[in-house]
Amino acid sequence: MKRRDFLGLAALLAASDLGLGLEPLFASKPKPALSLAQIKQAADQGNWYSLPAGERLCRVAAYLAGLSIPYQGGSLDKDCRLEKCLVDLSSFDCVTFVETCLALSALIAKSNSAKSNSVKTKIDWTNFDDLRSEITALRYRNGIVDGYASRLHYSSEWLYQNCQNGRLALIRELTGLTFLDFSKKLDFMTSHPSYYKQIGQVGSPNFEKIDRIENEISKNVLASGFLKYLPRDKFAALEKLPKDAGLQSGDIVFVTTAMPGLDILHLGIISRENDGLHFINASSSKGVNKVVKEKAPLAAALNWSKSINGAIFARPLI
């Protein structure tokens, strides 16, 4: 999984909508920034505080999709001088969208606990400090910003950390469907350093750090059998599962790829509705370029690149 890009190869561009990979650098016209106060008002009106984690996450994602917030790729790499946790509600790529939804959902849950517990957890909805803290915990290794290499650039490691810290649970099996081990050698960033301004060339500090991290993820996460994926030809079967045995609202989809050295092409959030499963995501598709809830069924929404070979699923716990 690679988060951000500076793409030049048309073949790779065609293969990706990437967020934790290659992000095409086209975007819609900017809109006025969304405020945290608006999100809190929506949570108050919809009483999201008492919802289970998955349903709460889905409500946050659907709310943002309803605002047609523009897509913007490569936003975390605009300023290469100093790595810092950037937070922006005015545009998203597929990764920052999911991270922001998870962080907002966690803040809403903490607001609810503050109302019911004797020990108060006060959430400040007037600035980004609490939101930034939540996103930092999701986005950076061990929740610490320590240079470019401390960002979880590959979705495999991002998933591993956020499962280990209790934010997510991997979905490894569903009734009647066989999941396979997701194992491959990651080296996309060091094989394509020109796409990443901060990485530098062979021998530079960031290059050497990323090279070491790629090897560690490949050995300790991917070769361990930790991640399981559902092959692409089984996507349609997801719609046929009983409601209580299938994917739920708020489940996160990580679209896997057969591209050498890369793990994840795209990600988004499930919305389970009366007519089936739908996909909420920050889409760079031509003519869309915004956060959207796809009208097509999930299987069709995930069928946009020949390099897609399956999907990993995770369920929010917070």
What tens digit of pLDDT does each residue of 233-292 get? 999 999 999 999 999 999 999 999 999 999 999 999 999 999 999 999 999 998 899 999
Judge whether 136 lies within some domain: yes
Q: How far is CA 75 from CA 98, 111, 312, in A?
A: 14, 29, 25
Residue 40 is assigned to a structural domain of this protein: yes
Q: What is the pLDDT of residue 20?
A: 40
DSSP string spanning 170-220? EE--BTTB--EE------HHHH-GGG-TTT-STTSHHHHHHHHHHHHHIII
Which residues, given as ranges, of the chain have pLDDT below 50? 1-30, 118
- CATH code, 80: 1.10.3670.10
In the chain, what is the straight-line distance between the N-terminal and C-terminal CA atoms, in Å?
23
94-110 pLDDT, tens digit per residue, is 999 999 999 999 999 99
In-domain check, residue 5: no
* 4 occurs within a structural domain: no
Residue 3 lies in a domain: no
pLDDT at residue number 65:
98
How many Cα neighbours within 13 Å face the side chain of 232? 15
Number of domains in the chain: 1
Establish if 39 belongs to a structural domain.
yes
Rg (CA), the chain: 19
Residue 114: predicted pLDDT: 55
- Domain hosting 82: range is 10-316
Rounded to whole angstroms, the Cα distance separating 221 from 141 reads 14
Three-state DSSP class for residue 267: strand
Residue 59 within any structural domain of the chain? yes
Assess if residue 2 is contained within a domain: no
Return the pLDDT at 32: 53
Rounded to whole angstroms, the Cα distance separating 40 from 48 reads 10
pTM over 0.85? The answer is yes
